[in-house]
Amino acid sequence: MPTNAVTATRTGPGFDERPVTPSRRRRPGDGLAGYLFLSPWIVGMLLLTIGPMAASLYLSFTDYNLFTTPEWIGIDNYRRLFDDSRWLRSVQVTGMYVLLAVPVKLAAALAVAMLLNSQRRGQGIYRAAFYGPSLIGASVSVAIVWKALFSDDAAVDRLLSMVGIRTGGWVGNPDFSLLMLVLLAAWQFGAPMVIFLAGLKQVPRELYEAAEVDGAGRWRRFWSVTVPMISPVIFFNLLLETINSFQIFTSAYVIGGRNGSPAGSTLFYTVYLYDRGFTDFRMGYASAMAWMLLLGVGLVTAMLFRTARGWVHYSGDNR
């Protein structure tokens, strides 16, 4: 209502000279105006997030093939997951991927961020160049190029054979295909790198100088100054990347197909979920899978928060 909106603006300190009494503050119109401005977001949230989530939660307890009415079957979908060898395989593949990709990617991001943190000519160009890959990261074309790079007798294979390592193509080798996707993820380190860079900028120079005076070498300064100082940033990136890694889909689907080729070595959780939902028409089962993923990611996140108490230092915490 327009009148309420006007009232709301008048309550600002510049407009209202009267002392603000508690009753004055709680005028119903104030809240309404706020909600009015929030409404696009609230409507979007309800329709596009909460609604579908509720529907998916309901469907996860049903047998639903997209065509006929969902049929309530209780926790059967969840129970059957544990007898499903493909599901177990997808959990295993995804877990392995998260364990490998997250540290590799974060290490790459931190290393490059530190390189870019020093003053150098053309710094902007370097930063843009390193950030580039993560902008195009999720695209299908990159995955295709990646696949081509790692084929038999292609760029990577030739480079490695120059130093005497003969791996053959990685694409056709089930022992290497996952590693290939880990490297693809690591290559897209731009986003965490930018965040690390911002964190590194906040570390006071005096600390390094003091450490240097005390005779600390580069390595020592890194572990004793940099890491603790940016630990909140590391934690933030770790959380973000872990959650993202669990949801790897595009590159895996493009390279390994819906069957996780070769030999099921890239059968990621989301790939199998997609296959179940859209190829086998088992939306109920796929929904149950989605909620298990949410549960899994939630558990891992909670665990990370627990361990964080031990190694993440916030300023003003204990200094």
Partner 1 sequence: MKRFRTVLATSAALALIATGAAACGNDSESGPVTLRYSWWGNADRADLMQQAIDLFEDRNPDITVTPSFQEYEAYWQKLTTETAGGNMPDVIQMDFSYLREYADRGVLYDLDDQTGDALVLDDLLAGFDGVGEVDDARYAVPIGGNTWSMFYNPALFTQADVPAPQVGWTWADYHAAMAAIKSTTGVYGGGNYTGVIYNLEAQLRQEGGALFTEDGQLGFDQERLARFWQQGQDLIAQDVVLPVETAVQIKPASLWVDDLAASDLGWDNFLVRYAGETDTEIRLGPLPSDDPERLGQYLKPAMLLSASARTEHPEAAAKLISFMINDPEVGRIFGGNRGLPATNAQREAAELDGPLADVAAYEETIADQLTQAPPAPPRGAGGVEAAFIRISEELHYGRISVQQAVDQFFTEAEDILQS
Map residues 224-263 to x or -, x wherever contact with partner 1 holds by CB under 8 A: ----------------------------------xxxxxx
Q: What is the C-alpha to C-alpha distance for residues 51 and 80, in angstroms, rounded to an integer?
A: 26
Q: What is the C-alpha to C-alpha distance for residues 158 and 145, in angstroms, rounded to an integer?
A: 16
| SS3 call for 65 | coil
Sign of CA dihedral 260, 55, 300, 243: positive
Q: What is the C-alpha to C-alpha distance for residues 319 and 317, in angstroms, rounded to an integer?
A: 6
**Cα atoms in the 13 Å half-sphere on the side-chain side of 111:** 9
Q: Tell me whether residue 123 or residue 279 sits nearer to partner 1 (CB atom).
A: 279
Smallest gap from Cβ 49 to partner 1, in A, equals 19
119-158 binders of partner 1 (CB under 8 A): 151-152
163-202 binders of partner 1 (CB under 8 A): 168-169, 171-174
The CA distances from residue 200 to 42, 110, 197, 207, in Å, are 36, 9, 5, 12
Element (H, E) at 234: helix 231-246
Smallest gap from Cβ 218 to partner 1, in A, equals 43
Smallest gap from Cβ 149 to partner 1, in A, equals 12
Q: Does 103 sit near partner 1 (CB under 8 A)?
A: no
- Tokens describing residue 269: 């959780």
Smallest gap from Cβ 31 to partner 1, in A, equals 37
The CA distances from residue 80 to 213, 244, 284, 285, 286, in Å, are 63, 26, 12, 9, 12
59-98 binders of partner 1 (CB under 8 A): 63, 65-68, 84-86
Q: Tell me whether residue 48 or residue 66 sits nearer to partner 1 (CB atom).
A: 66
Nearest to 237 by CA among 309, 288, 159, 304: 304
Which residue among 137, 190, 192, 264 contacts partner 1 (CB under 8 A)?
264
Q: Tell me whether residue 30 or residue 63 sits nearer to partner 1 (CB atom).
A: 63
Q: Tell me whether residue 66 or residue 138 sits nearer to partner 1 (CB atom).
A: 66
Which residue among 223, 278, 311, 314 contacts partner 1 (CB under 8 A)?
278
Which residue among 39, 202, 279, 307 contacts partner 1 (CB under 8 A)?
279
Q: Which residues bind partner 1 (CB under 8 A)?
A: 63, 65-68, 84-86, 151-152, 168-169, 171-174, 258-264, 267, 275, 278-282
